[in-house]
């Protein structure tokens, strides 16, 4: 089963893709894909990745994005995400195919960020940073961004949970927007893993937010169930 989830960037900015070059108007979309190059290549060859810009064409391989370093629990990982280009001539948009272990625009792997969020209330941002090997101020930024969107995050993941399984019950409120948002993520991920496919918890979070969990847009352009 192929699950294609995407996010359209609100506006092209010089550093959306990276410092290696400017982003053109035809490259403003990040597509979240599996963290398996063999699977990604097979999907590109078979035309299973739809173009998120025009919604009509399919993507073919189009080189790779810049080399980037991602900080994981095991240490630094170097990866060069694949690019895809719409085969419809009138569109021709190119898109970065970002592995689901990442969040867009973040140096640290999504599982590291998730760990810092889950430890909220049990350890300070400085202690969490020391444990995870990242600056404490970075952990504080993640938490503040998550807190500022906690209500929206909870609603988004509960919407996905209900779309995937209409019989799923809404979780009991913990009296905290942050705790409720984390609970909603847990409920949604459990349902998604049962209904769609098994996937690491925070990889599902990346996929279901199009890599944009920590975006601070007023209306984040996250993928929604149809």
Q: How confident is the model at residue 60 (pLDDT cuts 50, 70, 90)?
A: very high
Mean of the pLDDT values across residues 94-115?
94
CA distances, 67 to each of 28, 71, 145, 186 (Å)? 18, 13, 26, 32
**In the chain, what percentage of residues exceed pLDDT 90?**
67
Question: Cα–Cα distance between 152 and 181 in angstroms, integer?
Answer: 8
pLDDT score of 28 more than 90: no
Mean of the pLDDT values across residues 15-29?
36
Mean pLDDT of the chain: 84
> Which helix (H) or strand (E) is 70 found in, with range?
strand 68-72
Write out pLDDT tens, residues 163-203.
999 887 778 788 899 999 999 999 999 999 999 888 899 99
pLDDT score of 118 more than 80: yes
Q: What is the pLDDT of residue 179?
A: 95
pLDDT score of 93 more than 70: yes
pLDDT score of 38 more than 90: yes
Mean of the pLDDT values across residues 13-35?
48
Cα 22 to its chain centre, rounded Å, is 22
Q: Find out whether 18 and 66 touch, Cβ atoms under 8 Å.
A: yes
Count of CB atoms situated within 10 Å of the CB of 206 = 29
Q: What is the pLDDT of residue 10?
A: 35
Closest CA to 64 of 20, 102, 105: 20
In this prediction the pTM is 0.82
pLDDT score of 24 more than 60: no
């Amino acid at each position: 089963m192929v699950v294609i989830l995407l996010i359209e960037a609100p506006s092209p900015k010089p550093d959306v893709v990276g410092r290696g070059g400017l982003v053109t108007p035809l490259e403003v979309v990040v597509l979240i894909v599996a963290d398996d190059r063999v699977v990604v290549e097979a999907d590109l060859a078979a035309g299973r990745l739809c173009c998120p810009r025009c919604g009509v064409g399919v993507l073919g391989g189009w080189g790779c994005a810049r080399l980037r370093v991602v900080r994981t629990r095991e240490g630094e990982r170097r990866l060069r995400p694949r690019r895809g280009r719409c085969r419809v001539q009138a569109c021709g948009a190119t898109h970065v195919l970002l592995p689901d272990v990442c969040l867009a625009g973040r140096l640290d792997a999504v599982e590291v960020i998730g760990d810092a969020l889950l430890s909220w209330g049990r350890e300070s941002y400085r202690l969490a940073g020391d444990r995870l090997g990242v600056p404490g101020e970075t952990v504080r930024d993640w938490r503040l961004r998550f807190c500022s969107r906690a209500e929206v995050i909870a609603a988004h993941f509960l919407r996905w949970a209900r779309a995937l399984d209409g019989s799923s019950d809404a979780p009991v409120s913990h009296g905290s927007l942050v705790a409720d948002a984390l609970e909603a993520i847990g409920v949604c991920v459990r349902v998604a893993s049962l209904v769609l496919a098994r996937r690491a918890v925070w990889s599902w979070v990346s996929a279901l937010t199009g890599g944009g969990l920590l975006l601070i847009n007023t209306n984040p352009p996250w993928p929604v169930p149809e």
